[in-house]
Chains A and B, each alone.
Chain A
């Protein structure tokens, strides 16, 4: 089985997000970037399948600027085998990413695609679903458990109010939820080995996918500053304030 894991380079989840001075986008200059946390979970799941002897090769891919290669290397250090970097300096929307992934799936003969359920930068939660539709493959989204028995998969998903278990056949698409696994930290020797693994770089135009944006960002704003709370002496005063000042009772 050949697994494809797409990874996205996003602003590190620890960084306090700031809007740029023009108010047109989030500031990414001089900001620490990391692999989208849901994608780390996807890489980890693929590596576990390979370690369990259920997969032969893990291909890592990323669509983005030069820096995306660092993210691919991070995935290598966790256990990915080789990489495909689709170079695009501007933002690529989910549909275009899904089309690019379809191109790679067809070209490489992929059996299973594991993606993060969403990227923490735009929270779109679309690429996996779109990819499954484009490929006409079954999909199991928000996976919290994946079991593989030859060509049959049992996937547990987190849904409102409980768990749902799906059975699906390869080839298929899985998107990961937070509780699927706890990604490993790359060991130093594996970081060193990752440097020798191969990344093929390809300009986005070579995929034949039209990546021109279909959405226009009008404005990006910081959330309104929370105004401070205030202490009241007792319940009577509270009720009074809610009545007289806030006017909600």
Chain B
């Protein structure tokens, strides 16, 4: 069992670190303050080929694993928080159901543009009236001769303001109680603004990366735009959920690492009562605890990624990694603010932004509660509670 990164992984991280070096704290603060999408950063990442990290080489990707994608997202969120991570998150994990279940023609048509960054996609699963109970979603796709007609409402769809493609799950046949996951279908189609209205939700953090309500009226998705078989969309969706949880865990880890580093620096600088505040154990112990927690959760994140990359089941580990990264992350961001005293509440110290952003991995893509329900059922064999 070797816990060190390979030379290749270190090379990647070094190079990525150099690539994004110019996007400093002030850049991210400015994006957050002005709700400005970090387009320059996204272009830099796309030009460096990083969006294709886990995509097949024949379409311009580098065919590395979720492990490398997770390491990349750790570093990106360590530098630019959730604002940086979310600006590219979808392009990294979103296409995995296309890679796995799309036809050759679809992959050729879609993947090169996703990898080059020409296409920005959003992912529309959550609905206002169904929440986490995904199989009850109400958006419908009706088959016509050569297209599906999609109607419904989605909520919390991130990046819909700037996307030209939408990956959307909708019902193509009635829900049967015996087999509720059946009859859902997955589409990847043009984000046609004549049929979709996207309204921004004003939210707590990450103002630079928009999140929306979608009002979808008579969106025509050509039949070439359905992924895999009609009615099997939920199982395709499930396929990409574990990588997403791993990446979100990695992002939470990165944000927390960023916050911890700021707290440590401040504790080493700030002098009160004629002594550095970092000399007080009530300041340094929580930071030491934060360090220990981050080390442990990093191992779990990489373990989940390693299982996934080796085609082993990783559901419990991926969920547990997202759970712990978000729990620890919240505590660490809070502690980072507390370490800064009043300054922690000032935007120019950045920790309040990280704290606000840390709420996202806490809430999404799945809630902490549902993660525990899942672990109780799958890892412990307790009765299914949801």
Contacts and interface: CB of A to CB of B under 8 A. Distances in A.
Nearest to B48: A187
B49 A189 contact: yes
A188 B12 CA distance: 7
B60 A189 contact: yes
Given A185-B19, A185-B48, A191 B53 contact: no
Interface of A is mostly: helix
A187 B47 contact: yes
A70 B48 contact: no
Quick one: which of A74, A191, A195 has the most chain B CB within 10 A? A191
A73 interface: yes
Contacts of B64: 192
A55 interface: no
B11 A70 contact: yes
B15 A186 contact: yes
A73 B11 contact: yes
A192 B8 CA distance: 9
A189 B52 contact: yes
A192 B7 contact: no
Interface in B30-82: 47-50, 52-53, 57, 60, 62-64
A188 B11 contact: no
A180 interface: no
A34 interface: yes
B52 A188 contact: yes
Contacts of A74: 11, 14-15
B146 interface: no
A77 interface: yes
Nearest to B19: A185
Nearest to A40: B18
B50 A188 contact: yes
Interface in A70-90: 70, 73-74, 77
Interface residues of A, number: 14
Given A185-B18, A185-B19, A191 B47 contact: no
B92 to A, nearest CB: 12
A70 B62 contact: no
Interface string B1-37: 0000001100110111011000000000000000000
Nearest to B115: A189
A77 B8 CA distance: 12
Contacts of A190: 49
Contacts of B60: 189
Interface in B250-292: none
Interface string B141-174: 0000000000000000000000000000000000
A191 to B, nearest CB: 6
Given A188-B52, A188-B53, A70 B15 contact: no
A190 B60 CA distance: 11
Quick one: which of A185, A186, A188, A192 has the most chain B CB within 10 A? A188
Contacts of B16: 188
Interface in A182-207: 185-192, 195
B265 to A, nearest CB: 14
Contacts of B19: 185
A74 B13 CA distance: 12
Nearest to A185: B19
B54 to A, nearest CB: 11
Interface string A169-189: 000000000000000011111
Nearest to B10: A70
A34 B11 contact: no
B48 A188 contact: yes
Contacts of A191: 8, 11-12, 15, 62
Contacts of B47: 187
A240 B108 CA distance: 80
B368 to A, nearest CB: 33
Interface in A1-42: 34
Contacts of A192: 57, 62-64
A195 B15 contact: no
Contacts of B14: 34, 74
Nearest to A183: B18
Interface in A202-219: none
Contact of B7 (A34, A70, A185): A70
B8 A188 contact: no
Contacts of B48: 185-188
A189 B63 CA distance: 10
A50 to B, nearest CB: 20
23 contacts: A34-B14, A70-B11, A185-B15, A185-B48, A186-B15, A186-B48, A187-B47, A187-B48, A187-B49, A187-B50, A188-B50, A188-B52, A188-B53, A188-B62, A189-B62, A191-B8, A191-B11, A191-B12, A191-B15, A192-B62, A192-B63, A192-B64, A195-B8
Interface of A: 34, 70, 73-74, 77, 185-192, 195
Q: Which 6 A-B pairs have the closest CB atoms?
A: A188-B49, A185-B19, A189-B49, A187-B49, A187-B48, A186-B15
